[in-house]
């Protein structure tokens, strides 16, 4: 049986008080609507329709070809929003999942279990519910003796007996598709808000004698809908806990999970140890037996096995097996380190390839460069890659030695085994095994230091007398 999906993403989200459209606010690095679409993909949804309204173009740009779109031009209620998918889906046979685009914590296992219950029991509708210790403010699920859902009663309409019910509506549903759209056609806006409430569909189906079931999730966090920044932080907390627990279950050590930030989609190998204050983001892939932190920030970076990174920032980089980075290093996009490379403190690498065994131990900048095997780059050495108009490359051959405070003015090629003397500004190519020195000859003036001190002292005293 085909599975269809309707994602409600048309609300403006005024309580977010943000220029960013609500469902595009990220949770653990991914917009909320992205998490919802991921879940629908996991349950192998055949068609997905995202209902858009405010911020439609932003949502369409992000979602792209992952779904079809239907526009809710006027905000006339949730029932009206779902009905906008009618022209696309109402002639389909199958099960339709209706889900809110601001519920990023829905788990695939729960949605699969709800769909399975719906299918096996032949229900017209199945809704997801949750049991709360303090259900105040939420619609209560009223069941009959058979355990079927009779109706959803909003908090303000509850009798004392209904107010004591702990089971609340979690806002995710499965429907027989044709029965869903037939019932939507009967929903009216005869209420105080003059809106078409989607929950009225449940009552309409019950009046028609249809079976309506409830699937109570075992994870109460799944029902959280994000309507303000407080709920956004709660969703972030729950999602981060899930992600961290999964990594630990897979053999990753998190010294302090509460202060470790790993975004969804990051891959980490077994026996890697992550110290507090570390953030792994985006499409980062980490091998086995690595060590991070404390206080590393790594984004969209591929890291090999046995790598050690301390108090450093990496973005769009590649780090080979057995390399070390930091502390206080910065690997920018295009930085590629082969195996057993050492990057020390206050070193910046950008759009450069460093081959196996290279050492850049401290206070250096290597940009737009190719550095051969076993090259040693001394303290304060830099590649001068920008002339004010264009970027130029520096090529350094295997086994070369670059002394401290050497400026390599690109475009420049330094041969294999070449030796660049400390303090030099190199502007011409250096052949294999040559030594290059480019600095003024030192001149010592005997006794001149005392003369300078006397001169400065006299000037100081003269100034003081004048005052």
Task: Note the pLDDT tens digit of each residue in 137-172.
Answer: 788 899 998 889 988 888 888 888 998 999 998 999
pLDDT at residue 462, as a whole number: 86
DSSP characters over 96-156: EEEEETT-TT--HHHHHHHHHHHHHHT-SEEEEEEE-SS-TTSPEEEE-TTS-EEEEE-GG
Contacts of residue 29, defined as CB under 8 A and 6 or more positions apart, other chains included, come to: 263, 264, 265, 281, 282
Say which residue the tokens 């409830």 belong to.
Answer: 214
- Residue 151 pairs with which residues in a beta bridge? 142
Q: Is the dihedral of CA 240, 242, 245, 251 positive or negative?
A: negative
Q: Which domains does the chain have, with CATH numbers?
A: 3-223 (3.90.550.10), 250-436 (2.160.10.10)
Binding-site sequence positions for acetyl-CoA:
385-386, 404, 422, 439
Contacts of residue 362, defined as CB under 8 A and 6 or more positions apart, other chains included, come to: 344, 345, 346, 347, 379
Binding-site sequence positions for Mg(2+):
102, 227
Which residues have a catalytic role annotated? 362
Q: Which residues of the chain have pLDDT under 50?
A: none
Cut 0.75: pTM above it: yes
Binding-site sequence positions for UDP-N-acetyl-alpha-D-glucosamine:
8-11, 22, 72, 77-78, 139, 154, 169, 227, 332, 350, 365, 376
Does an H or E element contain 108, and which?
helix 108-121
The CB density around residue 272, as the number of other CB atoms within 10 Å, is: 23
Closest CA to 153 of 180, 179, 177, 129: 129
Binding-site sequence positions:
8-11, 22, 72, 77-78, 102, 139, 154, 169, 227, 332, 350, 365, 376, 385-386, 404, 422, 439
pLDDT at residue 156, as a whole number: 80
Task: Note the pLDDT tens digit of each residue in 289-316.
Answer: 999 999 999 999 999 999 999 999 999 9
């Amino acid at each position: 049986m085909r599975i269809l999906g309707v994602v409600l993403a048309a609300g403006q989200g005024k309580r977010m008080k943000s220029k960013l459209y609500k469902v595009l606010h990220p949770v653990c690095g991914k917009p909320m609507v992205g998490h919802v679409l991921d879940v629908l993909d996991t349950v192998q949804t055949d068609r997905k329709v995202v209902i858009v309204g405010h911020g439609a173009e932003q949502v369409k740009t992000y979602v792209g070809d992952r779904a079809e779109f239907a526009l809710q031009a006027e905000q006339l209620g949730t029932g009206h929003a779902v009905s906008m998918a009618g022209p696309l889906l109402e002639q389909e046979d199958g099960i339709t999942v209706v889900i809110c685009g601001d519920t990023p914590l829905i788990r695939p296992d729960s949605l699969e279990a709800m769909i399975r219950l719906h299918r096996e029991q032949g229900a017209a509708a199945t809704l997801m519910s949750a049991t709360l210790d303090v259900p105040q403010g939420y619609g209560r699920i009223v069941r009959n003796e058979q355990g079927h859902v009779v109706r959803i009663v909003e908090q303000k309409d509850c009798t004392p007996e209904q107010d004591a019910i702990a089971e609340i509506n979690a806002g995710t549903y499965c429907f027989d598709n044709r029965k869903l759209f037939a019932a939507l056609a009967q929903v009216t806006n005869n209420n105080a808000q003059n809106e078409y409430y989607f929950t009225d569909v449940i009552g309409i189906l019950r009046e028609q004698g249809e079976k309506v079931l409830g699937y109570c999730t075992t994870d109460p966090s799944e029902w959280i809908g994000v309507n303000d920044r407080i709920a956004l932080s709660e969703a972030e907390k729950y999602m981060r806990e899930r992600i961290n627990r999964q990594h630990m279950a897979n053999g990753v050590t998190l010294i302090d999970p509460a202060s470790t930030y790993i975004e969804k989609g990051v891959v980490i190998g077994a026996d890697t140890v992550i110290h507090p204050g570390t953030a792994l983001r985006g499409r980062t892939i980490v091998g086995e037996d690595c060590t991070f932190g404390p206080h590393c920030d790594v984004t969209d970076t591929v890291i090999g096995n046995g790598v050690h990174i301390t108090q450093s920032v990496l973005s769009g980089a590649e780090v080979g097996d057995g390399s070390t980075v930091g502390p206080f290093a910065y690997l920018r996009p295009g930085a590629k380190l082969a195996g057993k490379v050492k990057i020390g403190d206050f070193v910046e690498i950008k759009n450069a390839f460093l081959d196996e065994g290279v050492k850049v131990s401290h206070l250096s900048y290597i940009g737009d460069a190719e550095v051969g095997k076993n090259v040693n780059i001394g303290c304060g050495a830099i590649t001068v890659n920008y002339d004010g108009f264009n970027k130029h490359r520096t090529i350094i051959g295997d086994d070369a030695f670059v002394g401290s405070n050497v400026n390599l003015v690109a475009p420049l090629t330094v041969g294999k085994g070449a030796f660049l003397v400390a303090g030099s500004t190199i502007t011409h190519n250096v052949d294999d095994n040559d030594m290059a020195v480019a600095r003024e000859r030192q001149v010592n003036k005997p006794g001149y230091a005392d003369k300078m001190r006397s001169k400065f002292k006299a000037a100081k005293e003269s100034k003081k007398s004048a005052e």
